[in-house]
A and B are shown apart, each in its own frame.
Chain A
Amino acid sequence: MKGVFLVMSTVLTGLGIFSFGLISEAQAHVFPVHSEPKVGQVVNTSPFLVRIWFDGKLEPAFSTIEVHDLKGARVDKGDGRVGPEDRTLLKISLPSLPSGIYRVFWSVVSQDGHLTEGDFSFTIRVSQ
């Protein structure tokens, strides 16, 4: 019986190690489904809001969003929050912004307690 224990434990440990090898480095448990403005979108007017919808509910206390310009300066109004009416929506207000490339940084915690982070850019090209 001891032999059985030993062989089985070795096989299972090997399979377990193999499984850890199957996991890639970056892990996350809720993902963005879509956003406004979209990733890489060029818009003609400065948007009032940046909104990102996720595929799961978010924890408001630990979910953040910021918008920066190319120099790294923060340009949003600092009111980033999870939409109270829709717990899958993360949004932040923007002042009227000049033409340029802007980067949105987001960090959210899902209901299962896992953290996801990411960023994307959009461009404002105000027509003359």
Chain B
Amino acid sequence: MVLHSILLHSIVRWLDFVGMIVLVGGIVFRYLVFQPGLTASDLAKEEMDSLGKKTERYNRAVIAISFLLLIMTLLVDFVLRSQMISKRPLFELPSIFYVILFKTHFGWVWMIKFILLVSLGMIGWQKRPLRGISLGLSGLFCLTYTLSGHAANRSDFSPDVLADWFHLLAVSAWIGGLIQMRLLMPRLLISLNDETAHRLLTRMLGRFSTLAGICVGILIPAGVLSVRLRGVTLDSLTETPYGRILAVKLLVVLPVLGLGALSRYYILPNLRSIKPPFLGNLLLSFLRNIGRILRLDSPGRNKRIKVFLVSSIQSQFFLFITVEFLLAMGVLLFAAILTQTPPPHQMGP
């Protein structure tokens, strides 16, 4: 496979990953973070109804966009893969579609993936929540990625497949949830008063942090096991193309993990206690002193300072999460390139 072909396959696979993570992560976020968080919150009924309607519209938009992206990448991937497998020009491909669909492992997995995608789209469009079915189908949808990747080359029921699947599930829930935190939460918070918005964000971030912690706890050992089973060693990280790309991917993963830890152990406690963060301490002291010097003491001063601090913590949180989200997109790009790169092997007969 020549470089431009690898580039095309990798970009299609990257868009495919992005679509999958938005769809699956959105479903996980909705059922495991948002809905339980909203139910347990102390919001008034009118506020909850209003948020529920906004979320419903948003969820439908997310499902529609990710569904269209996935359908498009699924079709393009099928054509590209058919061309690669058969070595035939584009116009001759329709004649072998049947053979590829029904006589190859890739074809069967592709059809199952298509059916699962349509099912997820239809269920996601329903107003009635179908938590168990949606989560179950999402898990199976992730499995189709594993079964059409490197992991399935030995067998469909190997430790490679299990490790890769768990890695993918954890990444989807974490990064997909991250995208929801970045895109959905600001839309909801803007309609609430400062105090309610702060309480809701703190609650959602608390639940999401727990989920993200569990995901990281799964994805690291599953990822390590997965690459070890593919023959990756410390030496191969510098000596093989697969190892080098994996090393670059890991370099981008580290700051993503660091920012995740920052949200969990720095932003969240500060949101809970409304404590000013590092520079905020200096700023708070400055505001208090300037108030005293300029005789700006007034009954509402402390409240105004509190609102200012909350909004500064929130701004920091959304900045961190934006950077984390962009880096995560980079990680997905490297993961996509890795799917087109052979893992280290014992060469030659």
Question: Contact residues of A with B, CB < 8 Å?
Answer: 1, 4-5, 8-9, 11-12, 15-16, 18-20, 22-35, 38-39, 52-53, 55-57, 59-62, 109-115, 120
Contacts and interface: CB of A to CB of B under 8 A. Distances in A.
B334 interface: yes
Given A59-B85, A113-B84, A5 B7 contact: no
B245 A34 contact: no
Given A38-B349, A56-B153, A61-B99, 20 more contacts: A4-B326, A12-B326, A19-B337, A20-B6, A23-B6, A27-B6, A29-B342, A31-B342, A31-B345, A31-B347, A31-B348, A33-B346, A59-B105, A61-B104, A62-B104, A112-B153, A113-B85, A113-B148, A115-B1, A115-B85
B139 interface: no
Nearest to B106: A113
Contacts, number: 132
A19 B345 contact: no
B252 A8 contact: no
B244 interface: yes
B3 A61 contact: no
B337 A16 contact: yes
A23 B3 contact: yes
A104 B318 CA distance: 60
B49 to A, nearest CB: 31
Contacts of A61: 99-100, 103-104
Contact of B152 (A16, A111, A120): A111
Task: Report which residue of A12, A18, A26, A30 has the largest number of chain B beta carbons within 10 angstroms of its beta carbon.
Answer: A12
A62 B150 contact: no
B84 A115 contact: yes
A9 to B, nearest CB: 7
A39 B248 contact: no
A110 B349 contact: no
A114 B84 contact: yes
Task: Report which residue of B81, B85, B349 has the largest number of chain A beta carbons within 10 angstroms of its beta carbon.
Answer: B349
A113 B81 contact: yes
Task: Report which residue of A16, A28, A60 has the largest number of chain B beta carbons within 10 angstroms of its beta carbon.
Answer: A16
Interface of B: 1-3, 6-7, 10, 81, 84-87, 99-100, 103-106, 148-150, 152-155, 241, 244-245, 248, 252, 318-319, 322-323, 326-327, 329-330, 333-334, 337, 340-342, 345-349
Given A27-B6, A59-B104, A4 B322 contact: yes
- Give the interface SS of chain A, mostly helix, strand, loop or mixed: mixed
Contacts of B319: 1, 4
Nearest to B99: A61
- Give the interface SS of chain B, mostly helix, strand, loop or mixed: helix
B241 A24 contact: yes
B6 A4 contact: no
B150 A19 contact: no
Contacts of B347: 31
Contacts of B318: 1
Contacts of B323: 4, 8
18 contacts: A8-B323, A8-B326, A8-B330, A11-B330, A12-B329, A15-B248, A16-B337, A19-B333, A22-B248, A27-B341, A33-B346, A33-B349, A53-B349, A55-B153, A57-B105, A62-B85, A113-B104, A115-B87
A28 B342 contact: yes
Task: Report which residue of B153, B155, B319, B322 has the largest number of chain A beta carbons within 10 angstroms of its beta carbon.
Answer: B153
A22 B327 CA distance: 20
B3 A25 contact: yes
Given A12-B326, A112-B106, A32 B348 contact: yes
A18 B241 CA distance: 11
Task: Report which residue of B10, B106, B148 has the largest number of chain A beta carbons within 10 angstroms of its beta carbon.
Answer: B106
B6 A111 contact: no
Contacts of A1: 318-319, 322
